[in-house]
Chain A
């Protein structure tokens, strides 16, 4: 366990973009269509998400150095869609620790009732990660994740304030 990991809100979209654009992250968070889009468009979207006061953007740092982020996109009525971007400087046990910290951080926010996320079948480790962090499966998304021309199903995972009580200590 890395005792230097920390999580806090950020409005620094450039730092978030740097993490998303990291080689160890970028290809995992873009489907075929978005991979082909100009970086300028992606940057604009990231900036919009980070600067939108309805959303929560959390920066994960290790000894003050950014190693990942969670973007929590407001869907309304206390529901937030969570996107996890952890670089290769925060993997394995550290990633799970960061995932638990991020989940607790988000569920402690007064405007957050429930978190939802999507785990494409081409990345089974994403689903395992979610389960390790205390999330539970909530179904299969109607839409597919398209990567390199192949359609993958997406598991829906959720966490709510009740799950927070049951979240195992890290």
Chain B
């Protein structure tokens, strides 16, 4: 009951060797189709994401900054410590939004990499089962093409909306009720957050 026979009959080794040759050929085709998924490809995916969402965020930033300037001007606070504090706060928010976009971009890249790895593993598993390199070549091409297609980017929305809600809504509301007296005083009074430094009368801490 021989194992290593060179003939087809009674030579499982010959059949196994042929199967392994088919698998090797199929693996080559899978590797070829997936050769483009390099670290540079995934970095580019992250960059593409950043490039796609950053302009919108910057537009929102500019709009928010303009609104802040108008609000401060209406209250005569352009040169005040309030103005400095709110501009600093807005800059901090801008930094946070940039960080969030960078994190999202990395996540986008990681997800894409995971999808590529999963697809490749599935193909390898199928190949080991079927030992059919011609079938696996077309499947690998289809999978690779699908993975290369641009993915839809979920809009982030206005990343400054919370900031605006916190710092600008109160100002609009209060200034509408008490024209000429729009200031942080009223906001502080309405939220009950924060303290007023009574000694100098010019320093404010706004609750966040």
Contacts and interface: CB of A to CB of B under 8 A. Distances in A.
Contacts of A29: 1-4
B10 interface: yes
Given A45-B13, A45-B20, A49-B12, A82 B1 contact: yes
**SS of A interface (majority):** mixed
A71 interface: yes
B16 A30 contact: no
Contact of B9 (A85, A129, A142): A142
A54 B12 CA distance: 13
A34 B16 contact: no
B15 interface: yes
B6 A83 contact: no
Contacts of B3: 20, 29-30, 71, 83, 85
Contacts of B11: 31, 143
Contacts of A144: 7
A42 B4 contact: yes
B192 interface: no
A84 B5 contact: no
Contact of B2 (A31, A41, A49, A54): A31
B129 to A, nearest CB: 8
Interface string A129-142: 11000000000011
A33 interface: yes
Interface residues of B, number: 20
A120 B2 contact: yes
B4 A73 contact: no
A7 interface: no
Interface of A: 20, 28-35, 41-42, 44-45, 48-49, 52-54, 71, 73, 81-85, 117-120, 126, 129-130, 141-146, 154, 156
29 contacts: A28-B2, A29-B2, A29-B3, A29-B4, A31-B2, A31-B4, A31-B7, A34-B4, A34-B5, A34-B13, A45-B13, A48-B19, A49-B12, A49-B16, A71-B3, A73-B16, A81-B12, A83-B2, A83-B12, A118-B2, A118-B5, A120-B2, A120-B10, A130-B1, A143-B7, A144-B7, A145-B2, A145-B7, A154-B2
